[in-house]
Amino acid sequence: MGTYLERYAEPAAEARRAMVRLIAAEGALTDPAWRAAFEEVPRHLFVPYYFTGGPGGHERLWCEDPDPVRRERWLRGAYYDGPLATRIRDGELISSSSQPSLMARMLQALQVRYGDAVLEIGAGTGYNAALLCHRLGEERITTVDMEPEITESARAHLAAAGYRPAVVTGDGARGCPERAPFDRIIATCALPFVPYDWAAQCRPDARILAPLSTGLIALRVRDDARHGRIAEGRFLRTSAYFVPLRGSGPAAERRPGALPRRVLENDLFRFMLSLTGRSLDPREALSLWERERRPLRDRFGVTVVGGRQWAWLDDPEGPYVWPLGRRDG
């Protein structure tokens, strides 16, 4: 680790500054504290290799390639504002380093405060945890992943960058009860529904930010005298595509039926279609979508209470509500 960190320190710093300028110019990095984290945490240290290409074949770029041209491509790609595939198994992507501008938007939307304890679901390369450590201190950060090889490499990357948060191998859908309670939970993997254990491991007024469907749901946790622990909130406007959370169960499969191609290719309609689950057939979903003037993501929300949860449009009390995953499956 130390050899290539030292070897690429100067060109990496220049590439990192350029990446941060780009992200800031796009409006995705407005908080000075988070900007400092992105400027100072070396992303290339967390992606010593990654894969490029598509279904036709993957090319592996790595820091110790004997070809200097390929090494330059590796370093340049490490600071590209895009996701990087870091682990592929049997042709399936199982881990990646997320797009830095999306990470910046998510970290800012997490609304951390000094002293917050944060649980990250999906350790990935460790880069996101390193940014959290830079902002809040390593003793306040816990990151969880089901795959031992992922947590092992994330731990090594973090240590090489000078951070030693708690890196736990376990089912992220179950949270991390031994490190609870948490003030913030952030997931970097896509969910079919919000795991029920998360809210139970939060302090009151905690915030949960997670990819659900193709959006980002921001939930506030509170205690209610009648219903007990409640997590509720709206989606952000931005879209988000992540590797699915392993251990959470499969997402509901939708068959869109004979709908116009222009509709099926519309990202906002597909988002609503995925939330309505088995409650609406595709034509009913299309009718509602058009009647409500093609609503943006932030008109939708999610409520989690007791052993049930539901998605909603505009109002958690209805009239448009659709059940998501139940505790009993």
Residue positions annotated with a catalytic role: 95
Rounded-to-integer distance, Cα 93 and Cα 98, Å: 13
Q: Which long-range contacts (CB under 8 A, 24 or more apart) does 38-42 make?
A: 38/100, 38/104, 38/131, 40/134, 41/127, 41/130, 41/131, 41/134, 41/161, 42/5, 42/9, 42/12, 42/13, 42/16, 42/161
Q: Are 97 and 84 in contact (CB under 8 A)?
A: yes
Of the candidates 243, 233, 237, the residue with the CA atom closest to the CA atom of residue 188: 243
Question: CA distances (Å), 47 to each of 96, 179, 287, in order?
Answer: 9, 27, 45
Question: Is the torsion defined by CA of 45, 78, 94, 57 positive or negative?
Answer: negative
Rounded-to-integer distance, Cα 329 and Cα 325, Å: 6
Peptide bond into 295 cis (omega under 30): no
Question: Is the torsion defined by CA of 99, 100, 105, 111 positive or negative?
Answer: positive
Could you give the angle at the alpha carbon of 322 between the alpha carbons of 220 and 211, nearest 5°?
45
Q: Are 59 and 50 in contact (CB under 8 A)?
A: no
